Structure 1
Amino acid sequence: MATPRQTKKKSLVMFLALLVAVIIVVVASVLVQKWWNDRPTKDPADVTVRAEVRPNGEKTDDPVTLDYGPYVVCEPGTTCPDNPVPALKVGENDVLHLEIPKEVYDHDWSLLMIYDDPAANQDQYFAANQTKKVDIPGSTDPVVKDSDERPKLVVVEINTLMVGLDDQGEETPYAVVWSLNTQGEQAVPDQPVKQEDSAQN
């Protein structure tokens, strides 16, 4: 049977252990909060997508690649200037391979594929961490019955919402669009883009 002294000592040890546990939790919470407040916020305008052309769908030792930034970075509901659309020639038998940056794939995003036949246009939606890369054929199956003409890929757009800093240094959401002209001809739109309150164009 434990003596009163042993019981008191055991209670003191338990109290000290509990106190240490509480201190650890408090310190961890403070450190996590400090990290969250001080974490670097990457400017959405600096986030790039890597595009690679794969002839006949095959990866080559010397691929044609392009790293390109956003076409539009805009606070939802505002009208913003747009940037030139980069161009990368993708043949109808080629595959466009896109590597999606972590700043995009770690939350919901969408992909719009525009063809020279509007009936062939496609939208794809991806959940957070669903994929880090996408392969898009340079042409798709004919949309007209008994036709041999394959619609050719013209433009690819990635849409998402990101958090950036406003002019006052405060975090704010931005609608961000990466656009790529796959016909190899530089396109420079001259119309401002008005972003709705969503990530979609």
Structure 2
Amino acid sequence: MTDPGSSSSSEPSPQAPARRGRRKTKAERRRERRTMIIVGSVMAVIVLVAIVGGIAFTYWEQRRNSVDPTTVTLSITDSKGKSITADPYQACALGSTDCTEKSMTKISLPKDGKATIDVPSTVSDTQWSLLTIYEDNAKNDESVYKAKDKKSVTIDGSKDGSRLKVAEVHAVLLGDKSHGSDSSDDEDAYTMVWAISPE
């Protein structure tokens, strides 16, 4: 006989509340914050040192390879296959009217002939241009080349019957006219022109 006071199904006993993790003290939180600040500061210093080091190396590399721009020459192969060295026709420090100027380079180039201009890496590693001037100014032309894009160009003795008067190579070079001496450690930018004209 069933006891009326007893329940037919046993009810589950309530579970004990889950134990929460120990809360961090203020001192521990301050220590963690301090550690994060120190790590962040160290990382920032490392990045800054890397940037400064990269800039310093680039400057050193440029200084090591610095040249006197007035000594940079082009190599010309004329219509007869003869190799000729072309010195700069003009060198002007940017912002200065004090320019070094020499005579044009004369080459053998008949009206129906061709000549090749080879520029050194000092020039081809920067943007440079070729300006061709003819007796008929309407035929004048200018080609601009990106850095490392071209090291050699061919010029014609005439264009559509108009005789070539002069071909000019233009570039802006970083350099030091006192390179090799102790008189100056400063580099300047120079606008350079090499001028080639048929004999």
Which TM-score band applies after superposition, normalised by the shorter structure?
0.5 to 0.7
Is the aligned partner of 1:99 residue 2:124? no
Tell me which residue corresponds to 1:9: none
Gaps of 5+ in 2: 1-45, 179-183
* CA offset digits 1:73-104 (Å, max 9, x no partner): 11122222411112112111111101011011
Gaps of 5+ in 1: 1-21, 56-62, 142-149, 185-201
Letter in 2 for 1:122: D
Letter in 2 for 1:161: V
Letter in 2 for 1:180: I
Q: Offset at 1:32?
A: 3.8
* CA offset digits 1:148-177 (Å, max 9, x no partner): xx0011101011100012563301111111
> Which secondary structure does the structure 1 equivalent of 2:148 belong to?
coil
Q: 1:19-98 maps to which residues of 2 (within 5 A)?
A: 29=53, 32=57, 35-36=60-61, 39-54=64-79, 63-79=81-97, 80-98=99-117
Q: Offset at 1:40?
A: 3.1
Identical amino acids, percent of aligned pairs: 28
Quickly say closer, same or farther: Cα 1:86–1:38, change in 2 above 3 A: closer
Tell me which residue corresponds to 2:174: 163
Tell me which residue corresponds to 1:172: 188
Q: Offset at 1:35?
A: 4.5
Q: 1:129-168 maps to which residues of 2 (within 5 A)?
A: 129-141=148-160, 150-165=161-176, 168=184
* CA offset digits 1:12-71 (Å, max 9, x no partner): xxxxxxxxxx9xx97xx589468427513111111110111235xxxxxxx222111111
* Aligned pairs, number: 143
Letter in 2 for 1:157: E
Letter in 2 for 1:159: H
Bigger RCO of structures 1 and 2 (CA < 8 A, at least 6 apart): 1
The alignment's C-alpha RMSD in Å is: 2.3
- Given candidates 115, 137, 141, the residue that maps to 2:134 is 115
Over 2 Å off, 4+ runs: 29-38, 166-169
TM-score, normalised relative to structure 1: 0.64
> Which secondary structure does the structure 1 equivalent of 2:158 belong to?
coil
> Which secondary structure does the structure 2 equivalent of 1:41 belong to?
coil
- CA distance in structure 1 between the aligned counterparts of 2:122 and 2:69, rounded to whole angstroms: 8
- CA distance in structure 2 between the aligned counterparts of 1:34 and 1:52, rounded to whole angstroms: 35
